[in-house]
Structure 1
């Protein structure tokens, strides 16, 4: 299974698109995918002024992005977890710091690093089949790409703890009520809402929008640089525990039977 990240520039939108081969599987992340995402962000950052906002989406109707792929997860240990966490942080921070508004368009399930990817976007618009989860605790791991920081900023500490500690997914209506997502609905209405948002943003000053984004992000995330190191340290401690080793072995064994 191979995940690919492509970029489309069709004014006024840019699109970052996750696709997977063979189709029908969930897009997942490894170092190569992070590199492709970084390239996509770089392309968009240097695009002309006719590009006014960015959509991040998947070609799969049942999945957005589900975090680390199986191969990457099997190769991570207590020694390699720190560069893995820092690499993801660096790329997701690039996405958050784009001067353009960024919208995660979520259809189906997103979990782990996929939810952290969506959290690095300014808005999350979702189909009515969307589900959101942080399953790391079930594997003895830590959300390592900013989830421990961005999630409570978006939905509050108590609900962030519930999502992280339980590792259970929540449906789109709950995600909306909690303030995790901006909108959810059937596909036709979803496209209408996105079109209206695109029209509104495009009618406004590009410079003003960019400056407002920078100011709001600065107000919300004063400790963001430190968070990279804190999540890396916590991930290293978790990865070195015998409980995590057992949980990962059980997970890999179950996956090998599929």
Structure 2
């Protein structure tokens, strides 16, 4: 992306960087772990002819500040909330991927969210990771694997199939894990620090506001398995579903064109519906 597409601001003393392209209705894309806003580079290109697309690097990731002690769900969502008020304004479509889902939901002003898109994520209060993931969260082994050994950064090609063929992609994401504060943030998220607070906030406003919603789901996902999609469809029964075969846990990287098409179609249908409503008033 062009250097002029990358911006930065300071929210409550923390520097937050973001990528932005296009003009029109605002769409905010919130990434998960251990990646950054760079994962949405193709989506920004695909949507920028019709929308103003904003993709922040969450605090602790990418080019944003990475406090040495790391950040949990609550701290990140508070900073993102300030960012949304300053940069996104009072009306935006909101997409959250992976841990970016509950963070975005907790950070958003419910009255500002015009459309909601959830991609391979969950905000189920009793969510627990697969058993094979437990060494990454357990005392001592979590610090050793995630913080000291930087296994998430070094093992990215195992997590993300696109990274096996793209050296530039690996190098870009490694910037998110080099700082020790970034790795501590990843560990605190894997340990779900602040989970009860953000999921409670998310469930409350979604049930009350019933936003127009799309579940944009990469298959198969070894982390957020089919049980999470089943739960989301029960929790948000009015949501549309767009499945992305071969998309895996990171569909914006492993099935980027299908991901962008699904998102674009949903947003354009919403825009057309709003326009029809205006003409009838």
> What is the TM-score of this pair, normalised by structure 1?
0.35
